Amino acid sequence: MAVEVIMPKAGSEMEEGEIVQWFKNEGDHVEEGEVLLEIVTDKVNMEVEAEATGTLLKILAQAGDVVPVVQTIAWIGEPGEKIPGASESGEVAPAETIIEKKVDYTPVKEVEKVDYSGLRATPAARAYARKKGIDLSKVKGSGPKGRIHKDDVLDYKLNSKVKISPLAERIAKIEGINTESIVGTGPNGKIMKADIMAVLHGATKVEAAPKAEVAPKAPKAPKAPNENQWGVVETVPMSPMRKVISKRMSESYFSAPTFVVNVEVDMTELLALRKKVVDAIIEETGKKATVTDFISLAVIKSLMKHPYVNASLSSDEKEMYLHHYVNLSIAVGMDSGLVVPVIKGADKMSLKELVVASKEITTKALNGKLKPDEMADSTFTISNLGMYGVKSFVPIINQPNTAILGVSATVPKPVVYNGEVTVRPIMTLTLTADHRVVDGLEGAKFMKTLKEAIENPLSLLI
């Protein structure tokens, strides 16, 4: 029986994915687990593997197509096998909805019918352009491969008009001067009275420049660097990944009433233990255990004693889900943005297993090879900026988690130890918690448990 290949859903925020390339052609033999194609989402580039062994019978969406999640994009089966939905001649209709090629057949006036089949634009951008009578072919897209988003159309609408001062506009109207061909000397190219007067002294009328020359300039203007009295301001469009990060962080920051707990932890014993076991772990696993790995183990052990810190809240805020297991997220920063891969079943792992799992998931994240389920179902998140010398910071909760731990740098500090002032390696840990689920007292208890685990690290190995 033929098996369908679908556009995977890589996280709750993903609504569509773009096919970058197919690694197999129709008629090729594929093995289960073999990479079929590469897609790009708002978060990462991702390889999609075959879920069955057989022949790639039909490809329904091509490279460059943008397809909704869980939409069928191909079929795998036995050679000659009939595909569900195929006609008697064996022809198969393309994917039901390919956003990039979608055409709106709503009856409109003839003058409004424009062929945008070759353009890359989101449904929202197309709908807004139709409503406002904007020609999408004149809009510059900021998405992958020039894909046009609604914000790009709004940008074009706001900036495509000639910028002119009221006085200059009045003079131009009286004198019959076409302002489209005038380059303004005011802020951001605004046409001023002096510009109109300069035209009047040279000629009584200026013919409008050909539309082919003027139209392309409109969308480019807001993207170009602007110069003011202090210097140059560069306008950089937000990438799809950055837009999603912006949306999720705003939702988290403005929807969750949070509180913050800071503790200073003496890292002497943990650093000494790491030094003793690091070579043995490298010899057995080929992976180097980092300070983050030891802290992660301490966090996992502590979370099992404080389920409200390892919880999530229902969308209607009427139920709390207490997780009696730990799926640990590790924030991984890249030039293009932030991804948060998840170590599933971390509470059942030994230190060595955790080191291996952490390195594998981080490497996948950095190489853009994460699978959809490797970024889903986290219960708690760790964000570490210590390697950059950061002494303290307040992370924003990675929802639907109810808390996140910020790990800072280990710095030598004078402290009182056994009645004497001595210099010890001290690290600041910061817990940001959702007050709807976690009370301040519970947050403080969790941090106390975590501090004790880190300062007595042998207990982590028992």
Annotated active-site residue in 149, 323, 324, 435: 435
Q: Which residue has the tokens 């599933």?
A: 344
β pairing state of 3-6 and 231-233: unpaired
Return d(Cα 428, Cα 447) in angstroms, integer: 11
CB 226 within 8 A of CB 235: yes
Give me the sign of the Cα torsion angle 173, 175, 180, 182. negative
Give me the sign of the Cα torsion angle 47, 48, 51, 56. negative
- Whether 324 is a known active-site residue: answer no
What Cα–Cα distance (Å) separates residue 15 from each residue in 18, 92, 171, 244, 247?
Answer: 11, 25, 51, 11, 14
What Cα–Cα distance (Å) separates residue 10 from each residue in 33, 47, 99, 228, 255?
Answer: 17, 11, 18, 43, 23
- Read off the amino acid at residue 404: I
Residue 199: DSSP 8-state: H
DSSP 216-240: THHHHGGGS-EEETTEEE---PPPH
CB 354 within 8 A of CB 292: no
Indicate which residues carry an active-site annotation.
Answer: 435
